A and B are shown apart, each in its own frame.
Chain A
């Protein structure tokens, strides 16, 4: 390297040197480098070796800044001279590397060194900081508080009296109290651990040892704090045995740099040789509680030196409400009766860390059986699911992408997977009873519960995430689990993990990949081994023994594990390509079924579907290539029997699941075109009708899937179902006319028809509000062509109507659509078909107010597929006069409407039905709301054009905008109507049963209610759903009574 003597030239060269070394803030660092205190201490090589060492740190600019501060710090002089002047190689250079690594990665530790240059001494030397015998660490911290490490119950030396200047012989010169002495000794060792960690060639390899060293240091600090606490007791707490049990990461010997230290205390009076207690148990508890409280203060309270961390005893029995210390017996009694499942999960980690070792061991031995029996508890599945949700929830949206610990794919996710597996299999396999996450993972792989490859990859992910967390915490020594956002912080973080160059970007990529992998690994680790051995993808994979598989299936909610295993075997058996694909697919599907309301039904349906479709080339490929399709399929199969059947019958429908836009309704035009094409190909009426019905079945499946997956709202779903019914009716009309012509020998041409036919949709189909199980209410109208023979025209019309009814209503392979014409004039006594003129005459002379009301939903069918648009228009004009009567409803008619409503209420509800739960005819059910809407239409449609609609919700909206309903009343009616309609649909979807007496009743059993809640998606639980329906319908009822009965 050449250097010029000109000022600018020299500057340039320095800048280049800095740049090459890895500095980022060149101007500032250049001026820092020129600092006098620094320059005069540089080694003989002009500082080149120093610059290289600085450049190797996580943040060279920060390291340099801190070094300059240190060089100028009082009391640092000689020590810094010594370190800086050293040439490459040799012990001083090694210490220098350690110092700079710390300065460049942790501003907090750097500040501490500047404040206490004496700490530099603890960085020196070859002394091993990681992998030290825990006993040696314990002894070091005990000596720091003047306690004898060899004593059974070490006691710290007393603090000097306040006001005396005497320096206690045992203490670090600057510490005035044993608490401060402990904290200084702790931090000196923490600094050494950090230095070794930060200079490791591969931090990920060293991670378990670092975490163990931190846990040992914390244990030693707890021991020393206990010694300090004893010193404050009159007789040093003699006669009281206190064991400190580490929980969480402390217990697992996998602590991070800074976090709460979770503990539980066990306390007993000491006993003489013959077993008698030396003091009353209650007295021992009192002293024990004082010791524990003081211990916590020594570690976490305020003092001259900063606190170490909070000691958190919240995992104890009864949590914060419970007494701080308990006897062993009392712990056991609590776990025998009262503990929750998560508490047993927490106990997995329990390990003696300080105080009475014998008592600690007795505790572990006593609680062990509870941990391994937890999986047999009632509600284990629900609890485990709730625990898993807790892993994923509670992450604020803003932090979701930066959370290292929580959220999907975070550290908790790994820990949860490992702990759940331990709980599920630990009852039979002692070898997996490890408190440490990585050790447990190894043991699980070794014992054959997790594939080796998966275990290794999961361990890798865990190490990476933990290292990341360590580095983030080290910077400010703050308890945080969030990735920083600034470019500068990310660069430092990346470099501290050895990622140079495009550090920040690489880091973020690695971080996202890891999280994604953790998520996938949960499925792989948990569900893949449920496949039989011959179904595994490679020799490395493993398969669980039947008992273990059974335990695992029931732990996630399969009620019939044996059945599930049979299905899995059937699905993956054989050497076919199909079986091979299933082996890849099934593990993740098993997990998705478990999230649904009925995992067993989901798996069974999947098996059936796969058996009928397995040979279809696209089926499994689609599921393998589209995560969406597979997820949606699992969700539908495990939550809806109706859709399980429907998908099995319309196999092609599985294809829609990959792309939810294909679940959107096709719309009347496209449906008509499709039906048209079908009819053009078929000549025979029978097969033609079957084809139409198949088309409708397919649309029902599409709509159901769309509704459950949230692509369609309930009102859109009803419209889609109605469109499909329109299509079948119009197509069917065309087929029926064809049949009538051939029966009457009129030839094949539609022009030979003696009369024009019209189908008028009424009721729910008229309102475009059909559910999955609705019938089609219709009226038939015909209008003879001029000059046609009246008798022939009538014969033709009747034959057409009858054929249409028969074709669509008959039970067959494809689902039927019962066609009901009971709303026609004179009901069942009247003629099935009337001429248009006859309608004109009938309505003019005989119309009743209930018929006017029924006509509100009359919708003559005419469209691209068929139907006579001109006749439809004329019929609409005719009925408008009656359904939207000018001047509204005269008083006698209003009274009549009210009377009919009252009678219907009394008569139509099935015997024994609970009116509060009948969705259609009960209190505030669908019918109540519709009566309210329809009465307003009869009264006001003549003056409010918006009311001239057949849809209930549209009518309510119009009534609200016209001021006929106040906003709250309209809202209550709409809510009740929509909820009841959704529930009626959900009942069909859940049970797979169309019609029947149960179809309109909110079920009472908890299982069905929670299935419905799961389908609705926006309600938490079955109980909440019940309360919601009762409330909503009660409100609607009060509004209905006001509107219909005119009550206030």
Chain B
């Protein structure tokens, strides 16, 4: 018997768990949940739980509405905020078709497929995200201006700061769910926080991120505030990104590491970065999927608007962090465009695909950029061959539309769905008359 499944059944019994939530993620990265009683769990392991997929974003076409959610026992956790006694557990699910095949529309499966491709080449893909988000005071109506919970800045330690308590509570809860936190601190914006998850294989990280968002929101509610992962909630403050460190391992060996090479970066590592740069434009609609994402990307303040890489260059899209001597296995590259509102499964899948493409095709890595690319003039950037990332969701969609790489990675179904959905989002956004327009034009014209 699969020991993991046995373990889950035993734990549910021993800890008197009354509900098990089965979690999965729709194509847009929104967490979905269905609860089952312990008595149904065994059945769920064997056959999965049937549900109507047509009402879930992007999951099915109308004519094959029946889908099956099959829990992955290795992801079992007790949800700490549901209390110790008569608790609630949760597992992530794979989505299957009624014939028992992995669903082409399941974003977890998209990532799994891509990881399998990497595995065929002997690679395991690890990621380590730095998640930023804002905490705001609760508002009684949506007309009120946003009120960050504090006025702190980068690394500020605020006496009796509520964010401090918040982070401690959130981290405790994450750790109790088996999610290791590497680092946490107050970020540059008022009420802005950053929590870094410890590196893990990409599927685990993506699952963890889904949990993370839920935990952060739960803890915030407990403390009477609310948390938002919106990429750019305050126009005059830094946005919330999700810088993600990535590395490939061959068995126990970090494939990006080569002692003595420039930045200790191996040929594989250089090609991986080259792949990220070549395909950066076309994957942006996935890594930065909302209209609002582009306000962060083009809002200055170290946001990576230009496609270039550098060593410790905080304005570059891809950064190779300072190498710590003797830590060969910590070699990694950091992709800085990704934001906290992305669907992590799809985002990791396209990033990995772009990097692998660089390795497969043996792309040449251009020179590193040591300048702050924001300081350069447009002509200078052109001369250096530094192209911009798409400046709006509209442009990103257009680039993605003609991307074979993204189509192949997502599969035709998800690809088509994401494009249609994003096109709708853009159209709806464009139809708005904003307060800014009213303020600047209404009286004046």
A and B interact physically = yes
A residues neighboring B (CB under 8 Å): 317-318, 323, 330, 333-334, 336-338, 379, 914, 916, 1004, 1006, 1023, 1027, 1030-1031, 1034-1035, 1038
Q: Give the CA-CA distance A772 to B302 in the complex, in Å.
A: 63
B253 part of interface (Cβ distance < 8 Å): no
Q: Name B1's closest neighbour in chain A (CB-CB).
A: A333
Give min CB distance, A827 to chain B, whole Å.
36
**A1027/B2 in contact, CB under 8 A:** no
Tell which of B159-167, B195-203, B262-270, B408-416 binds the partner. Answer: B408-416
Given A916-B416, A1004-B64, A1030-B416; A337-B411 close (CB under 8 Å): no
Q: What are 24 inter-chain pairs, A to B, with CB distance below 8 A?
A: A318-B2, A323-B3, A330-B1, A333-B1, A333-B6, A336-B1, A337-B1, A337-B2, A338-B1, A338-B2, A338-B5, A379-B100, A1004-B61, A1004-B64, A1006-B97, A1006-B99, A1023-B104, A1027-B104, A1027-B412, A1030-B412, A1030-B413, A1030-B416, A1031-B408, A1038-B401
Q: A333-B6, A337-B46 are in contact. Are A1031 and B412 (CB under 8 A)?
A: yes
In the bound complex, CA of A336 to CA of B2 (Å):
10
B402 on the A face (CB < 8 A): yes
Query: With an 8 A cutoff between CB atoms, is B249 at the interface?
Result: no
> Residue B436 at the A interface, CB < 8 A?
no
Are B64 and A317 in contact (CB-based, < 8 A)? no
**Complex Cα spacing A412 to B61, Å:** 44
CA distance A334 to B45 in the complex (A): 13
B26-56 Cβ-contact flags toward A at 8 Å (1 or 0): 0000000000000000000110000000000
User: Could you tell me if A1034 and B412 are in contact, using CB atoms closer than 8 angstroms?
Assistant: yes
* Cβ contact within 8 Å between B61 and A337: no
Most interface-central of A334, A337, A1004 (chain B CB within 10 A)? A337
Decide if B416 touches A1023 in the complex (CB within 8 Å).
no
Within 8 A of A (CB), among B60-94: 61, 63-64
B residues near A334, Cβ cutoff 8 Å: 1-2
A861 to B92, CA, bound (A): 65
| Chain B interface residue number, banded | 20 to 34
For B401, what are the chain A residues with a Cβ–Cβ distance below 8 Å?
A: 1038
Q: Which label, helix, strand, loop or mixed, suits the secondary structure of the B interface?
A: helix
Docked pose: A336 CA to B46 CA in angstroms: 10
B101 within 8 A of A: yes
Chain B residue numbers with a CB within 8 Å of A323 are: 3
The residues of A that contact B97 with a CB separation of less than 8 Å are 1006
Which residues of chain A are near B408, meaning CB under 8 Å?
1031
Q: How far is the CA of A1027 from the CA of B409 in the complex (A)?
A: 12
Determine the distance from Cα of A336 to Cα of B1 in the docked complex, in whole angstroms: 7
- The 9 lowest CB-CB distance pairs between A and B, nearest first, are A333-B1, A1030-B412, A334-B1, A1004-B63, A338-B2, A1006-B99, A1031-B412, A1027-B412, A337-B1
B407 close to A (CB within 8 Å): yes
Smallest CB gap from A330: residue in B: B1
Per-residue CB contact flags for chain B residues 80-121 toward chain A (1 = under 8 Å, else 0) read: 000000000000000001011100100000000000000000
Complex-state Cα separation, A317 to B408, whole angstroms: 35
Residue of A whose beta carbon sits closest to that of B412:
A1030
User: Which B residues are CB-close (under 8 A) to A336?
Assistant: 1
For residue B410, give the distance in angstroms from its CB to the closest CB of chain A. Answer: 11
With A1004-B63, A1023-B104, A1031-B407: A337-B5 Cβ-Cβ less than 8 Å: yes
Contacts of A1034 in B (CB 8 A): 407, 412, 415-416
A237 vs B64: C-alpha distance in the bound complex, in angstroms? 57
Fill in one digit per residue for B267-295: 1 if any A CB lies within 8 Å of its CB, else 0. Answer: 00000000000000000000000000000
Given contacts A333-B6, A337-B45, A1004-B61, whether A1027 and B411 have CB atoms under 8 Å apart is yes
Residue of B nearest to A1027 (CB): B412
- Docked complex Cα distance between A976 and B213 (Å): 43
Contacts of B2 in A (CB 8 A): 318, 334, 337-338
Q: Is the CB of B1 within 8 A of A914?
A: no
Q: Which residue of chain B has the shortest Cβ distance to A334 in the bound complex?
A: B1
Q: Across the two chains, which residue of chain B brings its CB closest to A1021?
A: B101
> Smallest CB-CB separation from B408: which chain A residue?
A1031
5 further interface pairs, Cβ-Cβ under 8 Å (given A337-B1, A1027-B412): A333-B1, A1023-B104, A1031-B407, A1031-B412, A1035-B404
Assembly CA distance A410 to B363 (angstroms): 47
- Evaluate contact between A1023 and B101: CB separation under 8 angstroms: yes
State how many angstroms separate the Cβ of A282 from the closest Cβ of chain B.
12
B155 nearest CB across to chain A (Å): 44
Give the nearest-CB partner of A1042 in chain B.
B402
- Bound complex: CA of A1023 vs CA of B1, how far in Å? 30
**Docked complex Cα distance between A1031 and B99 (Å):** 22
User: For residue B1, which residues in chain A have a CB less than 8 angstroms away from its CB?
Assistant: 317, 330, 333-334, 336-338
Within 8 A of A (CB), among B410-441: 411-413, 415-416
Which B residues are in CB contact (< 8 Å) with A337?
Answer: 1-2, 5, 45-46
Taking the closest CB of chain B, its distance from the CB of A1026, in whole angstroms, is: 8
Residues B202-246 near A (CB distance < 8 A): none
List the B side residues contacting A1038 at CB < 8 Å. Answer: 401-402
Closest chain-B Cβ to A925's Cβ sits at a distance in Å of 15
B95 to chain A, nearest CB (A): 14
Bound-state Cα–Cα, A1034 to B100, Å: 27
List chain A residues, Cβ under 8 A from B64: 1004
Chain A positions within 8 Å of B6 at CB level: 333
A323 to chain B, nearest CB (A): 8
Which chain B positions have C-beta within 8 A of A1004? 61, 63-64
A1027 and B416 CA atoms in complex are apart in Å by: 12
Q: Compute how far the CA of A340 lies from the CA of B415 in the bound complex, rounded to whole angstroms.
A: 33
CA distance A914 to B415 in the complex (A): 16
Once the chains are docked, how many angstroms separate the CA of A91 from the CA of B5? Answer: 65
Interface string of B390-406 (1 = CB under 8 A from A): 00000000000110100
Q: For B61, what are the chain A residues with a Cβ–Cβ distance below 8 Å?
A: 914, 1004
Residues of chain B within 8 A (CB-CB) of A916 are 416
Q: How far is the CB of A481 from chain B (nearest CB, A)?
A: 28
Residues of B within 8 A of A1023 (CB): 101, 104
- Among B6, B407, B412, B413, the one with the most A-chain Cβ atoms within 10 Å of its Cβ is B412
Interchain CA distance A1027-B64 in the complex, whole Å: 16
Q: CA–CA, A1035 to B408, complex, Å?
A: 12
Set of chain A residues within 8 Å of B415, measured between Cβ atoms = 1034
Chain A nearest CB: distance from B96 CB in Å? 12
Tell me which residues across on chain B come within 8 A of A1006, comparing CB atoms.
Answer: 97, 99
Report B59 CB to chain A, min CB distance, Å. Answer: 15
CA–CA, A1031 to B416, complex, Å?
A: 10
Cβ contacts under 8 Å, B413 to chain A: 1030
Determine the chain A residues whose CB is within 8 A of the CB of B3 once the complex forms: 323
With both chains docked as a complex, state the minimum distance between the C-beta of A248 and any C-beta of chain B, in angstroms: 23
